[in-house]
C-alpha cells in the first residue's frame, strides 16, 4: 500500500489543503512562529545537555 511513502503529488495536495485551511496571509506568520519555537527548543535542549555534562 505505502511502498514508496510520500510522493511529490502527496506533498502538493497537502500544501494546497494547508493554504486553503489557513489562508495565504497567515502562513508567513505561522512559519515565523514555528521557526522561533524550534530555535527556543533547540537552545533549551542544548542547555540541558550541557547541564548534564558538568
Residues in the chain: 54
Whether residue 1 has pLDDT greater than 50:
no
Neighbours of 27 (CB within 10 A): 13
Q: Where are the domains of the chain?
A: 24-54
pLDDT, residue 2, reads 55
C-alpha cell at 32: 515565523
pLDDT, residue 39, reads 96
C-alpha cell at 37: 519555537
* 0.75 surpassed by pTM: no
Instruction: In whole angstroms, give the CA distance from residue 9 to residue 13.
Output: 6
Instruction: In whole angstroms, give the CA distance from residue 34 to residue 36.
Output: 5
Q: What is the pLDDT of residues 2-54, one digit of tens each?
A: 566 777 888 899 989 988 888 878 888 888 999 999 999 999 999 999 888 77
Amino acid at each position: 500500500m505505502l511502498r514508496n511513502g510520500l510522493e511529490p503529488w502527496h506533498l502538493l495536495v497537502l500544501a494546497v489543503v494547508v493554504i486553503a485551511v489557513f489562508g495565504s496571509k497567515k502562513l508567513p506568520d505561522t512559519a515565523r512562529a514555528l521557526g522561533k519555537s524550534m530555535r527556543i527548543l533547540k537552545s533549551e535542549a542544548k542547555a540541558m545537555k550541557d547541564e548534564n555534562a558538568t
